Amino acid sequence: MHAEITLRLLCFGPLVDCVGRRELTLRLPASASVADAIGRMRELYPDAAPILNASRVAVNQRFVSGDSVLVAGDEVALLPPVSGG
């Protein structure tokens, strides 16, 4: 059996509409990266892919890059770009 981690994932803006909720739990293999988490979200919510592609990611309230490694219990926030007038 492969080790897994469980993450708390927070969605904002239009991602809430695509996913249907603000918060969800995501399970990934141990030593998964932010890019892996985004890839899994694209699989689960294909309609959200364009928004995910443009979103910034914060882990435990710090902006991170796609190659950042996640650990069990991390809080991952997906922050789409803000638009307005």
Q: Spell out the per-residue pLDDT of the chain, length 85, in tens.
A: 579 999 999 999 999 999 999 999 999 999 999 999 999 999 999 999 999 999 999 999 999 999 999 999 999 999 998 765 5
**CATH number for the domain harbouring residue 44:** 3.10.20.30
Residue 84 lies in a domain: no
pLDDT of residue 4: 96
pTM confidence score: 0.90
Query: Within a domain: residue 42?
Result: yes
* Rg of the chain on CA atoms, in Å: 12
- 32 within domain boundaries: yes
Instruction: Count up the domains in the chain and report the number.
Output: 1
In a domain, 85, yes or no: no
> Can you give the residue range of the structural domain that contains 72?
4-79
Asked whether the beta carbons of 22 and 16 are under 8 A apart, the reply is yes
